[in-house]
Chain A
């Protein structure tokens, strides 16, 4: 009798569990991705719905809101924001602090940790909790160049000389806090922030005000003085390009522009040191939900959109480098010139952590001062003063 009761109970529990697992949801869902993958994502969602009949009735809107805008828009109005959205890893803490990210569902979190590369798993984790699904491990930069112009891509001096000779432009966005670190980190400096579990910045590790920092700054000043140099990092607004420091998202544009002279490689050396920079990731976040069923649907869809299968498909469509370990082993991906260049560069980079919003404008300030030739005549002492000022301000952001 007891046995039967236990069996019935177990059966009931099982039933109720499956009922929870397949809690169907047929309301609306909104996704924000970059313009380039809107159609791709729409297709992926259709595939998802076909494979999961319990979500077949769901209406999914895919809107083109790129990684740059998504985080800002989410913070402006969480309620009107997308349920799933893609963002770059440096926004994670900001989004957690603003209450715009839901924790990854525990069983999904286990799988994410097992299937993706360590860097990307670290990047989605804050204070021991996982807040997003890694999508790509390609959010870094390297060098695209025109083989017919640049003969020696290993040294910045040689690249600039070649570009000057050919009357071509060399592009690098040195007034961006993202590209700037190629110099500082390459020269051996450090700038990272510590965060607490809620995404607040509590400490800053920085040594820009050092001999290495001065070395990096001097290299930037010298670069800015070259007639071939133009500040910028976007192929669509660049003209007469000889070489450009850019990322995989511009691979198609670069291929088109350079034609058969298209080439990519790691960043060059400058003044004897190898340029470094950030290695970064793009990730898919889920917004906090007030409805359990909708949250379950979001979890399932996010897990699917960041799965091995979809990452490979996305690579085939857009050449975005996957974060999934199995996908990374594919031959086509290992031989892609842009991704190979990025992988080569990756050994010199630092995984990008969390930065306060103010850091980016501070770095732009430094870059703009260089571009405005304000530091051209500065001696080492003056440069050290500039960097000390920069460093103190960077530290002050952590102690608010």
Chain B
């Protein structure tokens, strides 16, 4: 109650011409802002620095732990931050081929590349069709996807597992199997790029059609060159997702260690009791996964921002 009283009474005036709800303020005047402004900015800087520390801390800690010497200290968890002996033991071990880490890394990279290619084609096909073409059943498709999206993804895990198994794509065939299930339904994620296509003026298509171009030619020659940002966004998302998937990857590949992805392999090192003293190795592995992805992401950040913003605005 008291808080409300501190805010001066405001009359709402609907400015009909502009269609804007604007407030007409009482006598509070513009004051000399410089002192006030500086105080506000300082406060903001303090907050931002604090936030940066909090946001970066886990990663910095992770890197510290990954450099702890395995031979001279311990590979397990410890209750201090800075290693007593710095070394590359963990990285050397990971890259020595003593574990399957390199293989897991390769598997994941393989999956990511294929997903990036196939998912992009699927997503762009669906979103282009739904955005630019008008045909019978278009609304039906969109509503069906909406309803299907309300079912939780893990519900069908067991069914997908046995479907893949029928095709021989589990355990030793897990890598192509995972690519198949990541890609098969990826068309359902058409929303963001459809939103992007919607913003490209229709007149472009129409003039090309008048010149005798087929719809395929319009798609290839006119729309695709304009869609570069959304293509990059789709590729980026499709490429990044497989690196973090633990649930499906572990369910499809169980019992076949060479066919794990990095997430499954590393997760097991810290969460399965059979592995003693693998914590620093987990950290080092995490760093090796995170660094290239982060760099890639930073380079393509612009497109990512465009994608999410567009997606959020369009819904």
- Chain A residues with CB under 8 Å of chain B are 30, 32, 34-36, 63-66, 68-69, 73, 76-77, 79-82, 234-240, 249-250, 252-253, 256-257
**Chain A interface: which of B47-55, B193-201, B249-257?**
B249-257
Write the B63-101 contact mask toward A (1 if CB under 8 angstroms, else 0).
Answer: 000000000001111110000000000000000000000
Q: How far is the CA of A34 from the CA of B254 in the complex (A)?
A: 14
* Inter-subunit contact A69/B170 (CB<8 Å): no
Instruction: Give 13 pairs: A residue, B residue, CB < 8 Å, sorted on A.
Output: A66-B273, A68-B272, A76-B254, A77-B162, A77-B165, A79-B165, A234-B273, A235-B277, A236-B76, A236-B77, A236-B278, A237-B77, A252-B276
* Inter-subunit contact A238/B77 (CB<8 Å): yes
Question: Taking the complex as formed, is B182 at the interface, i.e. its CB lies under 8 A from any CB of chain A?
Answer: no
Residues of A within 8 A of B274 (CB): 34-36, 64, 66, 68
Most buried by B among A63, A64, A235, A236: A236
* Inter-subunit contact A257/B257 (CB<8 Å): no
Q: How far is the CA of A79 from the CA of B161 in the complex (A)?
A: 13
Q: How far is the CA of A253 from the CA of B278 in the complex (A)?
A: 11
Question: Taking the complex as formed, is B104 at the interface, i.e. its CB lies under 8 A from any CB of chain A?
Answer: no
Determine the main DSSP class of B at the interface with A. loop
Within 8 A of A (CB), among B244-303: 254-257, 270, 272-279
Closest A residue, CB atoms, query B271: A237
Residues of B within 8 A of A252 (CB): 276
Q: How far is the CA of A252 from the CA of B276 in the complex (A)?
A: 9
Question: Taking the complex as formed, is B171 at the interface, i.e. its CB lies under 8 A from any CB of chain A?
Answer: yes
Closest B residue, CB atoms, query A34: B274
Task: Return B83 CB to nearest CB of chain A, in Å.
Answer: 14
Within 8 A of A (CB), among B133-185: 158, 161-162, 165, 170-171
Q: How far is the CA of A65 from the CA of B255 in the complex (A)?
A: 6
Q: How far is the CA of A250 from the CA of B277 in the complex (A)?
A: 10
Residues of A within 8 A of B270 (CB): 237
* Inter-subunit contact B171/A80 (CB<8 Å): yes
Residues of B within 8 A of A64 (CB): 257, 274
Residues of A within 8 A of B278 (CB): 236
* Inter-subunit contact B254/A73 (CB<8 Å): yes
Q: Which 7 pairs show the lowest CB-CB distances between chains A and B?
A: A66-B274, A239-B79, A35-B274, A236-B276, A253-B276, A236-B76, A34-B274
**Size class of the contact patch on chain B:** 20 to 34
* Inter-subunit contact A253/B255 (CB<8 Å): no
Task: Return B247 CB to nearest CB of chain A, in Å.
Answer: 14
* Inter-subunit contact B76/A35 (CB<8 Å): no
* Inter-subunit contact B256/A63 (CB<8 Å): yes
Task: Return A395 CB to nearest CB of chain B, in Å.
Answer: 30
* Inter-subunit contact A235/B76 (CB<8 Å): yes
* Inter-subunit contact A32/B277 (CB<8 Å): no
Residues of A within 8 A of B256 (CB): 63
Task: Return A136 CB to nearest CB of chain B, in Å.
Answer: 14
Task: Return B283 CB to nearest CB of chain A, in Å.
Answer: 13
Q: Which of B79, B170, B273, B277 contacts A80 (CB 8 A)?
A: B170
Residues of B within 8 A of A235 (CB): 76, 276-277
Q: Which of B79, B161, B255, B279 contacts A240 (CB 8 A)?
A: B79
Closest B residue, CB atoms, query A253: B276
* Inter-subunit contact A69/B165 (CB<8 Å): no
Q: Which of B77, B78, B255 contacts A63 (CB 8 A)?
A: B255
Closest A residue, CB atoms, query B80: A239
* Inter-subunit contact B276/A32 (CB<8 Å): no
Closest A residue, CB atoms, query B170: A80
Closest B residue, CB atoms, query A252: B276
Residues of A within 8 A of B255 (CB): 30, 32, 63, 65, 73, 80-82
Q: Which of B76, B272, B275 contacts A238 (CB 8 A)?
A: B76
Q: How far is the CA of A73 from the CA of B158 in the complex (A)?
A: 12
Residues of B within 8 A of A36 (CB): 274, 276
Not counting A64-B257, A238-B77, A256-B74, a sample of 20 additional A-B residue pairs whose C-beta atoms are within 8 angstroms of each other reads A32-B255, A34-B274, A68-B274, A69-B254, A73-B254, A77-B165, A79-B165, A80-B165, A80-B170, A80-B171, A234-B273, A235-B277, A236-B77, A236-B279, A237-B76, A237-B279, A238-B76, A239-B77, A249-B273, A257-B74
* Inter-subunit contact B272/A66 (CB<8 Å): yes
* Inter-subunit contact A236/B254 (CB<8 Å): no
Residues of A within 8 A of B276 (CB): 36, 234-236, 250, 252-253
Task: Return A53 CB to nearest CB of chain B, in Å.
Answer: 28
